Chain A
Amino acid sequence: MYEIDAKDVYYRDLNEQIRNAIKNHNKELVIENVCGQYYIGCGLSDPDVTITLHGVPGNDLGAFMNGPEIVVLDDAQDGVGNTMNGGRIIVHGSAGDVLAYSMRGGSLFIERDVGYRACIHMKAYKEMNPTVVVGGCAGAFMGEYMAGGTLILLGLTKSKNKPITGNYLATGMHGGSIFIRGSVEPHLLWEQVKTEEPSLEDYDLIKENVKEFCNIFKNDYNEIMNEEFVKVVPKSTRPYGDLYIPGP
């Protein structure tokens, strides 16, 4: 285990220290007193490295990351997993806006809520297929322009005044799937997407990821799976196909 004290360390220096530690063959990094340092784990490609963070990391945590696992034992800020290609990020708390923006691979597990615009522009290609599991609720514009990947929203923190997700859900979505535990009020949905009952294969995928979620955060699997899920899917893969040039 390799420890780094991040107290009042500038983000560039901290990221330099992390890269050097990995270059020196350290596999388990523990960083204390993290507070707002940007880009932690940015672009790292080592799949057998684990970085544990105590404190709140700054924006764009794990941006462009290809390999390692990052465990945050606190909240995270905006832009977690921005354009991430591989690896895993676990947040024992809530995360901010634009989670998984343009994410292309790997997985995110968020214990509680996420902000606005989660998983916008998320995409998949061949074996690259990102997965995001959010335990709490999400803000508006979730899955906007989503093109691929899997998003599972559990809503474990929802209440009367706290809906599971906000307006403009899946606006412009043309690929991938969103699974929402419970139901979605139709007026939140963009007109070019629909909800349907997940298939048996879909449920296998949900179960596998919820199991993982429960292993990480020690939740009751049966209780979560007790409620059914709905699947949000695009009606067409080219929702804007007729926008500028009228179709046949």
Chain B
Amino acid sequence: MELAKDISGCGIAGFINTDGSLVSGIDIVDSITLMKDRGNGLGAGFAAYGIYPDFKDFYALHIMYDDEHARKITEEYLDRKLHIEQHGGMPTRPIKKKRPIFFVYFVEPREQSTKAESEEFRKEEEDEFMVKLVMHINEKIDGAFVISSGKNMGVFKGVGYPDEIANFFRVDEYKACCWTAHNRFPTNTPGWWGGAHPFSLLYWTVVHNGEISSYGANKRYLEMYGYKCTQKTDTEVVAYLLDLISRKHGLSFDMVGKIFSPPLWEEIEKMPKEEKELYTALRMTYGGALLNGPFSIIVGYQGGMFGLNDRIKLRPLVAAKKGATVFMASEESAIRYIAKDLDEIWMPKAGEPVVVNLTEEGYRKIYG
């Protein structure tokens, strides 16, 4: 028997062109594939921002169905709730395994048909409406999962190695200003198509290396705010927590970093008064949102990308910069493979988010 070691540990990678220039998925596939051994073929995925310029004002729903029946039920529901500008099967290439079916819908919330239903929708609360819609489909419709639901962005994911999944979804044919990728080595949850990363809600996407041992506490905390965890994987909570803390409560990513990866109490004890008060208040208010356990994550959102480590840095993360592009990955080689002559390379400190936003002009290019 040949002795072989399983090199456990997921791999993550991402980059963003802050000037909003669009590039194909080829580079991100190369970058994540260099770390192929960090995964074991049980999950891979990509998030891409800026891929649907012709429909940038519509929410792009990527939906995964187990069967035609689930599709029928879901489409009836969508028809009742939304204006569908256009829809169709997602372009794919053949893959040698049993796989779900994927559809994309470009939609817009609209006035509801009954008075009671209309009350749940107000124009200024479109995002909220979409979140509820996504939660409803994921929880109530058997065999249907919304894998992404933001504007001018999308998630492509499934069971396989990164190059396999990229080929299946024709990732090379999309052009985005920001790409993130994941290569999965599932440890304590099943490797199924919906359980692959990125996890996404609205414009949030999360790729994650590590494990969130506070999953149970986070899940219960989120349930109080109407978020339903249905994907059987810990990372899901990060996407919903971001939606709650950043979008709804309006806290900065700096604060999100302090909430997700707070210093230990003994470190807080030693802080100057003002800092101590801040960290104590955050721990009291957002204790249920603290992420315990080892992790490095790359988060994509409307207008940027950020990377974050757990509070004692138990998983790797390297960042680098070249001109208007910022890269992040589990391993430096994954960045160096796709970008020569970098201006700067650094290892972010534990619990300190590296936040990279599109320039104003870049933002206008993608979302304006």
Tell me the A residues contacting B by CB distance below 8 Å. 11, 35-36, 38, 55-59, 75, 77-78, 94, 96-97, 113, 115-116, 139-141, 166-167, 187
Contact = CB atoms under 8 A, between A and B. Distances in A.
B337 A140 contact: no
Given A96-B347, A115-B347, A77 B312 contact: no
B331 interface: yes
11 contacts: A36-B333, A38-B37, A56-B332, A56-B336, A57-B333, A58-B331, A59-B331, A116-B312, A139-B350, A140-B313, A167-B267
Contacts of A77: 316, 331-333
Contacts of B331: 36, 58-59, 77-78
Contacts of B7: 38
B35 interface: yes
Nearest to A75: B332
A187 B267 CA distance: 10
Contacts of A187: 270
Contacts of B37: 11, 38
Contacts of A75: 332, 345
A96 B313 contact: no
A96 B336 contact: no
A36 B334 contact: yes
B34 A35 contact: yes
B350 A97 contact: no
B283 interface: no
A115 B316 CA distance: 10
A78 B317 CA distance: 10
Contacts of B35: 36
B256 to A, nearest CB: 21
- A-B interface, 4 closest residue pairs, ranked by CB to CB distance from nearest: A36-B333, A56-B333, A116-B313, A35-B333
B258 to A, nearest CB: 16
A27 to B, nearest CB: 27
A58 B350 contact: no
A25 B313 CA distance: 42
Contacts of B316: 77-78, 96-97
Contacts, number: 57
Nearest to B333: A36
Nearest to A115: B347
**Most B Cβ at <10 Å: residue of A57, A96, A116:** A116
Given A11-B37, A36-B34, A187-B270, A139 B333 contact: no
Interface in B80-130: none
Interface string B332-344: 1110110000000
Contacts of A97: 313, 316, 347
A139 to B, nearest CB: 7
Contacts of A35: 34, 333, 336-337
Contacts of A55: 333, 336
Interface in B182-204: none
**Which of under 10, 10 to 19, 20 to 34, or 35 or more describes the interface residues of B?**
20 to 34
Nearest to B335: A56
Interface string B292-317: 00000000000000000000110010
A8 to B, nearest CB: 9
| Chain B contact surface mostly | loop
B312 A141 contact: yes
A62 B20 CA distance: 41
B262 to A, nearest CB: 14
A128 to B, nearest CB: 25
A167 B267 CA distance: 9
A139 B336 contact: no
Interface in B13-43: 34-35, 37
Given A36-B334, A55-B333, 17 more contacts: A35-B336, A36-B35, A36-B331, A36-B333, A56-B336, A58-B333, A75-B345, A77-B331, A78-B331, A96-B316, A97-B313, A113-B347, A115-B313, A115-B347, A139-B350, A140-B350, A141-B312
Contacts of A116: 312-313, 350
Contacts of B312: 116, 140-141
B171 to A, nearest CB: 20
A58 B7 CA distance: 12
B132 interface: no
B321 interface: no
Nearest to B313: A116
B349 interface: yes
Nearest to A11: B37
A166 B264 CA distance: 14
A23 B232 CA distance: 50
Nearest to B309: A116
Nearest to B314: A116
A7 B191 CA distance: 32
A238 B25 CA distance: 55
A57 B337 CA distance: 12
A117 to B, nearest CB: 8
Contacts of A96: 316, 318, 332, 347
Nearest to B334: A36
A7 to B, nearest CB: 10
A139 B34 contact: no
A78 B38 CA distance: 13
A113 B349 CA distance: 13
A36 B350 contact: no
A231 B221 CA distance: 47
A88 to B, nearest CB: 22
Contacts of B332: 56, 75, 77, 96
